[in-house]
C-alpha cells in the first residue's frame, strides 16, 4: 500500500483506521491523519483534531480541514497512479463546522485520469454533518518509489 499506515490505537479513532506512516514536515504537524483500506478498493480517511486545530470559537479551523482534504487527495492520487503528484488547483466550499475533538472523515474519489493530470473530489464530514465539499486537479510526475 502506498504511504503505508502504521498500526496505532488511539482513543477516539474508529476501528480499522491506521495513522499515515509518513509524518514528516507539514503532514506530521497538521495531522495525524488516518486511513483505512476498503475491501472493494480505495480508502476511507479520518482526522481527530485537537486544540492545535481550533479557531478562537473552539471549532475546527478551515485551514486544518483544507490541509486534511489536500493530503487525502494526494494519497489517493499516488495510490491510484503509482506516480508522484502535486496540487495544481483546489476548490473548497466550507459548509458546516464542528468542535475540536470530533472525528472528521473524508470520502475522496477519483473523477478522471489523463496522462498527466488527476481530477478528484471529496466530501468531508463529522458524523452526518457535511463540513466541506472540495474538488482538485493534480499534476502527475514520475513513478512513485516506496521508501526503504
Give the tens place of pLDDT for each residue, 34-51. Answer: 999 888 878 899 999 999
> Is-contact 132 95, C-beta < 8 A?
yes
Give the range of the structural domain holding residue 59, as residue numbers without chain letter: 5-143
CATH code (residue 101): 3.10.129.10
CB 10 within 8 A of CB 48: yes
Question: Quick one: which of 63, 33, 53, 56 has its CA closest to 45?
Answer: 33
The total of structural domains in the chain comes to: 1
Residue 101 is assigned to a structural domain of this protein: yes
Q: Is residue 121 part of a domain?
A: yes
pTM, two decimal places: 0.87
* Residue 148 lies inside a defined structural domain of this protein: no
In a domain, 103, yes or no: yes
pLDDT digits (tens, 9 = 90+) for 39-97: 887 889 999 999 999 988 888 999 999 999 999 999 999 999 999 999 999 999 999 99
The distance between the two most distant Cα atoms of the chain, rounded to a whole number of Å, is 44
Would you say 146 and 128 are in contact if contact means Cβ atoms under 8 Å apart? no
Amino acid at each position: 500500500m502506498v504511504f503505508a499506515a502504521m498500526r496505532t490505537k488511539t482513543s477516539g479513532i474508529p476501528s480499522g483506521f491506521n495513522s499515515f506512516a509518513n509524518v514528516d514536515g507539514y503532514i506530521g504537524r497538521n495531522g495525524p491523519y488516518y486511513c483505512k483500506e476498503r475491501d472493494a478498493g480505495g480508502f476511507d480517511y479520518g482526522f481527530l483534531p485537537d486544540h492545535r486545530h481550533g479557531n478562537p470559537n473552539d471549532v475546527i479551523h478551515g485551514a486544518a480541514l483544507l490541509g486534511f482534504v489536500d493530503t487525502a487527495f494526494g494519497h489517493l492520487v499516488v495510490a491510484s497512479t503509482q506516480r508522484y503528484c502535486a496540487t495544481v488547483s483546489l476548490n473548497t466550499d466550507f459548509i458546516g463546522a464542528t468542535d475540536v475533538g470530533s472525528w472528521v472523515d473524508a470520502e475522496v474519489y477519483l473523477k478522471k485520469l489523463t496522462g498527466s493530470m488527476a481530477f478528484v473530489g471529496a466530501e468531508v464530514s463529522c458524523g452526518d454533518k457535511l463540513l466541506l465539499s472540495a474538488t482538485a486537479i493534480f499534476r502527475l510526475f514520475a513513478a512513485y518509489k516506496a521508501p526503504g
